[in-house]
């Protein structure tokens, strides 16, 4: 019998099949809006129900802590506890993450007298945390339960309880009428836990008077740290590595001589015999002079061409913050370079900051 070849489905048929299976369902803006509105109501309820006396008591305890604040939790609460722990550390509070299961197999040694152990759990009945409580107490830790239920096991077993309230959860389930009710994943509660823990961290930072520079010292590799710690000296090119020119030279000769050797500065730096900065000379200066003088420009000196039809270049000092220098380069009109001069009034050229040096420094 002849073999019958199976006909390939057309694109229209595949599209219809995808639509029938839900792949072609068009999302409704109103449905998305309703979810966010519901989430907003849950957050509003959190602020209404939050017991600030409890929160203040916890903050006071953490502020007075002579040891370490340990954060712990299971499942999604574990991720939140880790994040809050990182925020505490970066804002000046000594803190570490304690894995509950690992704690029961040796890491309980991280708990010492005077330490605070904060346990995150929505239900307050998380088995691993309940099991950990007596052992952490035996090590001398002060235990704090942060749950949604003030009558939970953890609340009753710990030395202190702080209610992190929630009145509902967004639910992804859509099983239709008559479906059996089931527990929704804590997408709302984890957001509230994060809000709760991080806000406490910032409050402790404020009470301790942590400065921007102190905060930046905890973030040396991050952009925030670099902006608050690095000075112009850290990011500039030094003067002895710059294309310098004297004011008496012919402008065209200077440009020809320095062609291709401006070393990424974007200009020639005009200095006197004492290395005092007199100005800058760039292609843009030459173009403006050509417009006014034509071929006569070939006989004009660097002194006549530098800073042509513009004010003395914006500058910075070696002691200034690199980020402040960056801002000076941006306003009122962006420039590609910023000469660095001494702060003693002599305008001695010390170096130059460029967009490239700032980029290389991670600014």
Q: What's the average model confidence in pLDDT over 285-290?
A: 88
Please check whether residue 9 lies inside any domain of the structure.
no
pLDDT tens-digit readout, 304-324: 988 888 788 889 998 888 888
Q: What is the pLDDT of residues 168-198, one digit of tens each?
A: 888 765 555 444 445 667 889 999 999 999 9
CATH of the domain at 295: 3.10.580.10
Structural tokens at position 236: 């500039």
* Residue bearing the bigger pLDDT, 257 or 249: 249
Contact yes or no for 148/163 (Cβ under 8 A): yes
- Name the residue with higher pLDDT: 353 or 228: 353
CATH code (residue 128): 3.40.50.10490
What are the residues facing 160 on neighbouring strands? 144
Cβ proximity of 277 and 315 under 8 Å: yes
What is the arithmetic mean of pLDDT over 31-48? 92
Query: Is there a domain that residue 246 lies in?
Result: yes
Higher-pLDDT residue of 129, 212: 129
Rounded CA gap, 56 and 79, in Å? 24
Same domain membership, residue 285 and residue 155: no
Assess whether 192 and 309 both reside in one domain: no
Residue 14 domain-assigned (yes or no): no
Question: Rounded to 5 degrees, what angle do the CA atoms 255, 259, 261 make?
Answer: 120
Determine the structural domain holding residue 269 and report its residue range.
Answer: 232-360
| pLDDT value of position 295 | 85
Whether residue 54 is predicted with pLDDT greater than 80 in this model: the reply is: yes
**Are residues 200 and 90 located together in one domain of the fold?**
yes
CA dihedral sign of residues 236, 242, 243, 245: positive
Beta carbons of 232 and 316 less than 8 angstroms apart: yes
The structural domain count of the chain equals: 2
Tell me if residue 162 falls in helix, strand or coil: strand
Q: Which residues does residue 142 pair with via DSSP β-bridges, in sequence order?
A: 116
Look at the block and give the residue holding tokens 């010390």. Answer: 350
Residue 180 has what pLDDT? 43
Beta carbons within 10 angstroms of residue 90's beta carbon: 18
> 99 and 198 in one domain?
yes
Both 165 and 250 in one domain: the answer is: no
pLDDT at 4 over 60: no
Strands 277-281 and 268-271: antiparallel
- Whether residues 111 and 141 share a domain: the answer is yes
H-run or E-run covering 238: strand 237-238
> Are the C-beta atoms of residues 306 and 270 closer than 8 Å to each other?
yes
Cα separation, 163 vs 47, in Å, equals 12
Same structural domain for residues 190 and 298? no
pTM of the full structure: 0.57
Average pLDDT, the chain: 83
Report the distance separating Cα 253 and Cα 259, nearest Å.
10
Sequence-distant (6+) residues with CB within 8 A of 134 are: 157
Collapse the DSSP code of 227 into the 3-class scheme (helix H, G, I; strand E, B; otherwise coil) and give the result. Answer: helix
């Amino acid at each position: 019998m002849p073999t019958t070849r199976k006909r390939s489905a057309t694109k229209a048929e595949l599209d219809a099949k995808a639509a029938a299976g839900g792949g072609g369902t068009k999302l409704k803006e109103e449905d998305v809006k309703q979810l966010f509105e519901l989430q907003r109501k849950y957050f509003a309820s959190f602020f209404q129900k939050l017991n600030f006396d409890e929160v203040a008591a916890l903050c006071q305890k953490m502020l007075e802590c002579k040891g370490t604040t340990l954060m712990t939790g299971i499942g999604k609460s574990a991720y939140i506890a880790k994040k809050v722990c990182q925020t505490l550390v970066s804002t000046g509070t000594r803190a570490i993450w304690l894995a509950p299961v690992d704690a029961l197999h040796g890491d309980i040694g991280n708990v010492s007298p005077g330490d605070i152990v904060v346990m995150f759990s929505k239900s307050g009945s998380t088995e691993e945390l309940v099991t950990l409580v007596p052992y952490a107490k035996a090590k001398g830790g002060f235990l704090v339960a942060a749950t949604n239920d003030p009558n939970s096991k953890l609340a009753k077993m710990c030395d202190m309880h702080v209610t992190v309230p929630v009145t509902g959860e967004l639910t992804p389930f859509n099983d239709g009428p008559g479906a059996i009710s089931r527990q929704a994943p804590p997408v709302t509660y984890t957001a509230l836990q994060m809000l709760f823990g991080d806000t406490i961290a910032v409050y402790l930072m404020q009470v301790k008077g942590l400065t921007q520079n102190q905060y930046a010292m905890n973030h040396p590799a991050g952009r925030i740290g670099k902006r608050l710690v690095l000075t112009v000296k850290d990011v500039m090119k030094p003067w002895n590595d710059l294309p310098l020119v004297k004011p008496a030279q012919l402008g065209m000769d200077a440009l020809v001589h320095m062609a291709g050797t401006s070393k990424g500065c974007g200009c020639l730096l005009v200095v006197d015999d004492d290395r005092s900065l007199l100005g800058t000379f760039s292609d843009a200066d030459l173009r403006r002079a050509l417009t006014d003088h034509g071929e006569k420009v070939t006989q004009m000196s660097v002194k006549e061409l530098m800073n042509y039809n513009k004010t003395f270049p914006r500058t910075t000092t070696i002691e200034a913050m690199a980020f402040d220098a960056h801002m000076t380069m941006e306003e009122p009109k962006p420039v590609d370079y910023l000469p660095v001069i001494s702060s003693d009034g002599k305008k001695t050229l010390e170096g130059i900051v460029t967009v490239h040096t700032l980029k290389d420094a991670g600014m």
